[in-house]
Amino acid sequence: MKILFVSETYYPHINGVYYFMYGIGSLLLQKGHKVEVITPSDSIYPYRKIINGIHVNGVPSLPIWFYPSVRYPLHTFLRSRIRRIINRFKPDIIHIQDHFWVSKMVVKVNRDLKIPIIGTNHFMPENITVFFKNQRFKQWLESRLWKDFSMVFNEVSLVTTPTETGVHLIKRRLKVDTVAISSGINLEAFNPRDNPVNIRAKYKIPDKPVLLYVGRLDPEKRIEEIIHSVVLAVKEIDFCLVVVGKGTSRITLEKLTKESGITDRVVFTGFVPDDELPYFYKISRCFIIASIAELLSLVTLQAMAAGVPVIAVNAGALRELVINRVSGYLYEEGDIPAVVSHIAEIFSDDDLYQKMSGKSREIARLHDINKTLETFERLYNECLSFSKISVN
């Protein structure tokens, strides 16, 4: 079977959408399927190259000033470029990951080709509207984004999204069936057996228990809430916060850390290669996430797969992953005293830590990427079979 993934972001822009496509795509290749990707290129020139084993077709694009991880495809010849890619590859299934410019054009081109399309939604409007302050404009933009979403996703055969939270968010906006399917996680990858001591040395992490954050450093991730909590928590518990990732807010967050007088307790690592990331979980006592706009949160799943208890805001899909007082703690948005209390409990109570660690691993096993692969293979075959019946 030939599967064509379509997304507005791909490597080197690392996010949950990329990890989903790469994770599933790699396993599909191992099983003998053929996989290609269409995405905006990293310049005004097109490319076709192999990235981490997968053929990627980049269409010419320009950067978006307020959101550097997303690029705007040049519309000149976009339709003809996409048609040529599809005609050359001849996919059996097209799998779009969003409703933006490239995916929208793929859907338009496919009106004539009639190839079965599955759409997976990773989108929440807060990921974009957070960059704007004017409330009226934000409301207008959110309405426009959802309108575009409905227009594109109502033309596909089936819509998936990583969690029931996602289903609830989009189901009323669609006429097609919607189902929750986890993006999946490679459980073995986050349980390395060798010693992670070199990670501390390489990134100058103090020899203290670690509170870990992994992800983009962008406004919607609300990392300043974590820093404010650490300012109070270090007065009670001896630990350090390690912040892994890059983004538009890094300078602001480093300034806040300095102004708060905790530069000796916070390490900003910047981008970390995938092969090193599991060791950060291995050295951590607890993982923390404050983002209220998560449809799954792969980094939270990664931490849980490594047996790390999680402190998460009680919002979005995080409440589906973290069982309060079982695998970690859920706190209400802005409740910094609660976060401080939860940090103190996990870092000071070894029995509690061990129990939560075991439960985290148990929950993560439900998201085994091999189960996700089997589910999508079945859906691809069902859509393909239905398409053939409809044609005949």
Three-state SS string across 211-245, please? EEEECCCCHHHCHHHHHHHHHHHCCCCCCEEEEEC
From first to last of its 392 residues, the chain has per-residue pLDDT tens of 999 999 999 988 888 899 999 999 999 999 999 999 999 999 999 999 999 999 999 999 998 876 666 788 998 899 999 999 999 999 999 999 999 999 999 999 999 999 999 999 998 888 777 778 888 998 999 899 999 999 999 999 999 999 999 999 999 999 999 999 999 999 988 987 776 668 999 999 999 999 999 999 988 899 999 999 999 999 999 999 999 999 889 999 999 999 999 999 999 999 999 889 999 999 999 999 999 889 999 999 999 999 999 999 999 999 999 999 999 999 999 999 999 999 999 999 999 999 999 999 999 999 999 999 999 999 999 998 876 544 43
C-alpha–C-alpha distance, residues 138 and 125, integer Å: 9
Looking at the structure, do residues 192 and 122 belong to the same domain, yes or no?
no
For residues 9 and 70, give the distance between their C-alpha atoms in angstroms, rounded to a whole number.
6
The alpha helices in the chain, defined as continuous H runs, are 16-30, 78-89, 101-113, 126-129, 135-153, 164-170, 197-202, 223-233, 250-259, 277-282, 298-305, 318-321, 336-348, 350-364, 369-391
Buried b (16+ CB within 10 A) or exposed e, 232-269: bbbeebebbbbbbbbbebbeebbebbeebebeebbbbb
Contacts for 353 with CB less than 8 Å, ≥ 6 apart: 285, 309, 346, 347
Residue 114's domain comprises 2-184+368-391
For residue 63, what are the β-bridge partners? 71
What is the value of pTM for the model shown? Answer: 0.89
Q: Are residues 232 and 334 in the same domain?
A: yes
| C-alpha to C-alpha distances, 137 to 134, 291, 369, nearest whole angstrom | 5, 22, 39
Same structural domain for residues 237 and 344? yes
Check whether residue 384 and residue 334 sit in a common domain.
no
Question: What's the CATH number where 265 sits?
Answer: 3.40.50.2000
Dist. CA 214–CA 289, nearest whole Å: 8
Spatial separation of the C-alpha atoms in residues 71 and 8, rounded to whole Å: 7
My answer on whether 180 and 249 are in the same domain is no
Nearest to 172 by CA among 154, 196, 145, 187: 154
Q: Are 263 and 322 members of one domain?
A: yes
- Is residue 319 domain-shared with residue 381, that is, in the same domain? no
Q: Do 196 and 341 share a structural domain?
A: yes
CB atoms within 10 A of CB 391: 7
Q: How far is CA 285 from CA 88, 211, 274, 310, 339, in A?
A: 50, 6, 20, 9, 15
Neighbours of 176 (CB within 10 A): 13
Q: Name the one residue in this structure whose structure tokens are 């339709």.
A: 79
The total domain count for the chain is: 2
CB 4 within 8 A of CB 38: yes
pLDDT in the model for residue 197 = 63
CA separation for the pair 196, 219 (Å, rounded): 31
Query: Do residues 336 and 379 both lie within one domain?
Result: no
Q: State whether 54 and 139 are in the same domain.
A: yes
Whether 109 and 79 have beta carbons less than 8 Å apart is answered as yes
Q: Are 325 and 302 in contact (CB under 8 A)?
A: no
DSSP 8-class letter at 208: S
157 in the same domain as 30:
yes
Phi/psi-derived region of residue 351, left when phi > 0, alpha when psi is between -120 and 50, beta in every other case = alpha
Tokens of 293: 């706009």
Same-domain check for residues 36 and 22 = yes
